[in-house]
Amino acid sequence: MRADAIVFGIAGSLFGLIIGWVLGTQNATGTARVAAPVAQAAPATAGAPAAQQPPPLDPARVQALQTVAEKDPKNTESRVQLGNLFFDAEQYPQAITWYEQAFALNPADPNVSTDLGVAYYYTNQPDKALAQFDKSLATDPKHIKTLLNVGIVRAFGKNDLAGAAKAWEEVVAISPDSPEGQAAKKGLEGVKNTATGTAGK
């Protein structure tokens, strides 16, 4: 996966929860994608950056990888790369198709598993995403990108702030100074502020 170094700042409201995420989307070998929170019915924020258009698909690249995949049914890497291309283009159903094939060939890779889970989340399947993250964590219980994603999906996909906080606390305990740890801390601050605001009413 390639490193986009795209910094996203999303102001989303969920029971008054506002989390400013500053985390580069890393797509390089050995890493997994991180889902951006989905701001459902969130008001526009003044000064918020305009949504970036996804990169267009490279048809020649897609065709070349599909040819490799068709010629070698056991070639995992071509399937992962196809999944990445479609994911980056925000064509999540197609990304899911290729990630599922890659995961079937190598179910012990938590990165592919987590990418698949994030794609499920973006197609409005939070339960399926969480089930996939469980498979990632069965392979690597301390996979911080998976744990960060568990928190995001629990908070923004399931309205489960307690479950989100638990996942983010694990991220902070494992790697407090990493980008994932910093994002998890912001999430925990948002949960704390929400709890405080609710208690004060």
Query: Can you give the CATH number for the domain in which 71 is found?
Result: 1.25.40.10
Confidence at 158, pLDDT banded by 50, 70, 90? very high
Q: Is the pLDDT higher at 104 or at 156?
A: 104
* Structure confidence by residue, pLDDT tens digits, 95-129: 999 999 999 999 999 999 999 999 999 999 999 99
Would you state the pLDDT for residue 190?
A: 86
With a CB cutoff of 8 Å and minimum separation 6, the contacts of 79 are 69, 98, 99, 101, 102, 105
Number of domains in the chain: 1
Helices 161-174/144-157 angle, 10° precision:
160
Across 31-45, 59-73, 128-142, 155-169, least confident range? 31-45
More confident residue, 73 or 22: 73
pLDDT at position 179 over 80: yes
- 0.75 exceeded by the pTM? yes
pLDDT of residue 10: 28
Reported as a pLDDT band with limits 50, 70 and 90, residue 34 is confident
**Residues whose CB is less than 8 angstroms from the CB of residue 150 and which lie 6 or more positions away in sequence, other chains included:** 130, 133, 137, 163, 164, 167
Q: What is the pLDDT of residues 126-142, one digit of tens each?
A: 999 999 999 999 999 99
Mean pLDDT for the stretch of residues 4-16: 29
Residue-number span of the structural domain to which 185 is assigned: 3-199
Among candidates 163, 25, 182, which has minimal Cα distance to 88?
A: 25
